[in-house]
Amino acid sequence: MITLKSPQEIDVMRQAGRIVAQTLQVLKEVIKPGITTIQLDALAKRTIESFHASPAFLGYRGFPASICVSLNEEVVHGIPGLRRLRNGDIISIDVGVYYRGYYGDAAATYPVGEISPLARELLEVTEQSLYRGLDMAYPGKRLYDISNAIQEYVESRGYSVVRNYVGHGIGSEMHEEPQVPNFGIPGKGPRLETGMVLAIEPMVNAGGWQVETLADKWTVVTSDRSLSAHFEHTVAILEDGPIILTLLQEG
Ligand code: MG
């Protein structure tokens, strides 16, 4: 069942979302060659807790850290550790918080120092695809209008969308119905309604769409080890269209 959120609930989710955005902003500012991903994790936890929120991923199905950090060919769910960022890496950071009974969830991929033209274009295309999807998030549209807009744009630029992992509804649970794939047939899927809140999160590979999970049972990588990027926002569908809840300012 897809739960519709009241304006009051969306207001709390906006506060949760702003904490997510502020945490990503803090992390973005310290990303540079030499820093370890576990240092980023510690900083994220401190930042989230300073807002009287809690890191939603910590302990989720046994996940051992507060954020997911996925470098280069890693797609999602990378575990922070002693690895140091190097010039030319791209790093995807996924932040989830729990605040006053509701969740916020967002991700972004950042360059470390100077990155290759291919990596830069992959980041641009992935972020842009999220906004192509968002353009479809109006009451009366269908869910897969969002999915298809993302897929069409990504594939038109020569990249591929991951099939095995998808976006999701979000609210008092981190993962609610519906699933929000980054591929699909336009005009299909549940009808979008005012009060739906979705985490839209294209995962885009420079090579093929196939992925696999490493022996740590968490880290998802591209099967062909091509680069992968990930952008995500928590988005509320209102009468006049979508608003992004995971922004620093009112959006
Ligand atoms: Mg998510």
pLDDT in tens, 71-119: 999 999 999 999 999 999 999 999 999 999 999 999 999 999 999 999 9
Mean pLDDT of 181-196: 98
CB 200 within 8 A of CB 235: yes
What's the rounded Cα separation, in Å, for the pair 197 and 114?
36
Cα(113) to centroid(ligand 1), Å: 26
Cα(106) to centroid(ligand 1), Å: 7
Cα(239) to centroid(ligand 1), Å: 23
Contacts of 131 (CB under 8 A, 6+ apart): none
What's the rounded Cα separation, in Å, for the pair 148 and 136?
9
Cα(201) to centroid(ligand 1), Å: 6
Cα(96) to centroid(ligand 1), Å: 8
**May I ask the CATH architecture of the domain 7-244?**
Alpha-Beta Complex (3.90)
Pairing of strands 160-161, 203-205: antiparallel
What's the rounded Cα separation, in Å, for the pair 174 and 103?
6
Q: Among residues 107, 110, 134, 133, which one has the least CA distance to residue 123?
A: 110
Cα(224) to centroid(ligand 1), Å: 24
Q: What is the pTM of this model?
A: 0.97
